[in-house]
Structure 1
Amino acid sequence: MLRKLGQDPESPDGKSPTVYLDEETDNYILQGWRVTDPDRLAQLDVPGHETVIEFPKRMMPFFPEVKLAQEAPGDSPDTR
Structure 2
Amino acid sequence: MALRRLGKDPESKDGASPTIYLDDETDTYLVQGYKVNGGERRSQMDIPDHEDVIELPRRMVQFFLEVKRDEGPDV
Aligned residue pair count: 66
Q: Would you tell me which structure has more helix in proportion to its own residues? A: 2
If the length of structure 1 is used for normalisation, what is the TM-score?
0.78
**Which whole-Å deviations, capped at 9, do the CAs of 1:39-69 have from their partners, x for residues lacking one?**
111110000000100001001111123xx3x
If the length of structure 2 is used for normalisation, what is the TM-score?
0.83
Higher relative contact order (CA 8 A, sep 6+): 2
Q: Residue 40 of structure 1: SS of its match in structure 2?
A: helix
> Runs ≥4 in structure 1, deviation > 3 angstroms?
none
Runs of 5+ consecutive residues of structure 2 not aligned to the other structure: 70-75
**Structure with greater Cα Rg:** 1
Q: Give identity over the alignment, percent.
A: 56
